[in-house]
Amino acid sequence: MTFSRSIKIAPSILSADFANFGAECRAVEAQGADWVHVDVMDGHFVPNITFGPATCAAIRPHIKGVMDVHLMIAPADPYIEAFAASGADIITAHLEAGPHIHRTLQAIRGAGARAGLALNPGTGIDAVEHLLDMVDLICVMTVNPGFGGQKFIHSQLDKIRRLRAMIGDRPVHIEIDGGVTVETAPLVAAAGADVLVAGSAVFKGGSVQDPEPYGENIRAIRTAAEAATGRMA
Ligand code: DX5
Ligand code: ZN
């Protein structure tokens, strides 16, 4: 993974056909996805359950590029090794998931993955200052985590701008997760985000049998985001 601030679209397979993850991953990549975003939920940290490291390992061979694993689980630490062994390129843990995020981020890098730090909409950014040199990505949740298809929370735009200033020249991605659409993509890109997770906005209208709508959706989100930043991939 070479670092770049160009816009990257990361479809979330939370909106894919759960009985067909392998084919869905291949389809979104063939349709222009840069990364594949994988949402792990435990029914405890968030009020929904998805899957664990065995599913991540099963889909890994179907993803040529970056497998971006978002852990919405508490505690996270006992499972870091298993998610790293599943082939995750990036493992993102929540600041709110336990008292020792510093240790969690150390464990992620120690296991050989890139380390991501996710912030819920109600979480401030003061603590991030002390973690900046330990992270490869900061994920700003623009919905409360747990479900796809929720409405974008506009108050997070100021958080994105402040994080972008705080990061400066460090090679740290800003990822946005939740409610990304053609309408909201330009707002987050202009505020400083470079990785745009999108679930419902990418998978709508398409299927493994008819994946072209995935490509149209990805291109529309990317074009809207790039127009807002002036950056072209
Ligand atoms: C929410 C997940 C997101 C979700 C985004 O808890 O972390 O990745 O799938 O879905 P949309 O794009 O539909 O808001
Ligand atoms: Zn996510």
Residues 91/116, Cβ–Cβ less than 8 Å: yes
pLDDT value at 232 more than 60: no
Q: Residues 37-94: pLDDT tens digits?
A: 999 999 999 999 999 999 999 999 999 999 999 999 999 999 999 999 999 999 999 9
Report the separation in Å between the CA atom of 228 and the middle of ligand 2, taken as the mean of its atom positions: 23
The predicted structure's pLDDT at residue 116: 99
Report the separation in Å between the CA atom of 10 and the middle of ligand 2, taken as the mean of its atom positions: 10
Residues with CB under 6 A from ligand 1: 12, 14-15, 37, 39, 70, 143, 145-150, 177-180, 197-201
Q: Residues 137-151: pLDDT tens digits?
A: 999 999 999 999 999
From the alpha carbon of 152, which atom of ligand 1 is closest? 14
